[in-house]
């Protein structure tokens, strides 16, 4: 394998994670014959449904399925799809809208402990990087808040480029923008199905576990070391 001098990163579950704050659920109850409070278990399940990179977790009408299938290509479809998921999960509409607002707020996302060190370290070494994400809102403010936005060479976001992982087109866009070869590029992500699509073009691939941020201190550093990139 050629030496790697470019790294592509997924966003959710890779560099950042959406981790619930219990205050987000204050005053919320699940619709049921007898309304019940949203406890920690229910909170975790709702967050899983909001962040799972593939699959679907609730029943869907044809219209809802169409929005879900194309959710990462347009903000209005993203909103429609996730409000449907939250409503089907038992949240009243106004509560669903409030929680959805957290999802699309980049300030709600928590960076993994090694995210800043990895992005800054790669930049200092002259390693080209891009964030390649299936997403329908601008994640750049999350990187600005972490003071690493200038350490990322390109942001290739599905709703801006019109392609969704694992479609090779989104990875090709990233490679073309960076002006690099696939054979010298590593894709790092938490979904073998979606992020692993980069292998079709000849990229190397490293899978990370989207576990809570406090449980994964060096997942990115380990992924890079496994492929011969040391910081």
DSSP code per residue over 38-76: --HHHHHHHHHHHH-SSS--S---HHHHHHHHTGGG-HH
C-alpha span between 210 and 16 (Å, rounded): 9
List, for residues 18-70, the tens digit of each pLDDT value: 998 888 888 887 875 445 667 778 888 888 888 877 777 788 889 999 999 99
At 34 the pLDDT is 45
Tell me how far apart the terminal alpha carbons of the chain are, to the nearest angstrom.
20
List, for residues 113-166, the tens digit of each pLDDT value: 999 999 999 999 999 999 999 999 999 999 999 999 999 999 999 999 999 999
CB neighbour class for 177 (10 Å; exposed up to 12, middle 13-18, buried from 19): middle
- Lookup: tokens for 91: 């949240």
pTM score over 0.85: yes
- pLDDT over 70 (residue 1): no
C-alpha span between 123 and 151 (Å, rounded): 5
C-alpha span between 36 and 112 (Å, rounded): 33
* Domains, the chain, ordered by start: 6-17+110-227 (3.40.50.1000), 18-107 (no CATH)
Is residue 77 very low, low, confident or very high in pLDDT (cuts 50, 70, 90)? very high
Name 129's bridge partners: 7
Residue 20 and residue 47 in contact, taking contact as beta carbons nearer than 8 Å: yes
What length is written for the chain? 231
Closest CA to 191 of 204, 208, 175: 208
Torsion of Cα atoms, 191 then 193 then 195 then 199, to 10°? 140
Strand order in the sheet with 6-9: 154-157, 128-133, 6-9, 185-189, 204-207
């Amino acid at each position: 394998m050629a030496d790697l001098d470019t790294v592509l990163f997924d966003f959710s579950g890779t560099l950042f994670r959406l981790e619930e704050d219990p205050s987000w659920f204050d005053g919320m109850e699940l619709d049921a014959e007898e309304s019940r409070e949203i406890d920690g278990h229910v909170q975790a399940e709702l967050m899983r449904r909001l962040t799972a990179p593939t699959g679907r977790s609730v029943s869907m009408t044809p219209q809802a399925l169409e929005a879900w299938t194309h959710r990462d290509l347009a903000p209005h479809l993203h909103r429609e799809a996730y409000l449907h998921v939250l409503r089907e999960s038992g949240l009243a509409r106004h509560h669903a809208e409030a929680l959805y607002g957290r999802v699309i707020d980049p300030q709600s996302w928590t960076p993994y402990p090694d995210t800043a060190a990895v992005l800054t370290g790669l930049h200092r070494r002259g390693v080209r990087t891009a964030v390649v994400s299936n997403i329908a809102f601008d994640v750049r403010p999350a990187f600005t808040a972490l003071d690493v936005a200038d350490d990322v060479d390109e942001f290739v976001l599905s709703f801006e480029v019109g392609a969704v992982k694992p479609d090779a087109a989104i990875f090709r866009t990233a490679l073309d923008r960076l002006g690099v070869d696939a054979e010298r590029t590593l894709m790092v992500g938490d979904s073998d199905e979606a992020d692993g699509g980069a292998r079709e073009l000849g990229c190397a691939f490293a899978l990370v576990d989207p576990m809570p941020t406090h449980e994964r201190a060096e997942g990115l550093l380990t992924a890079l070391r496994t492929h011969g990139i040391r910081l």
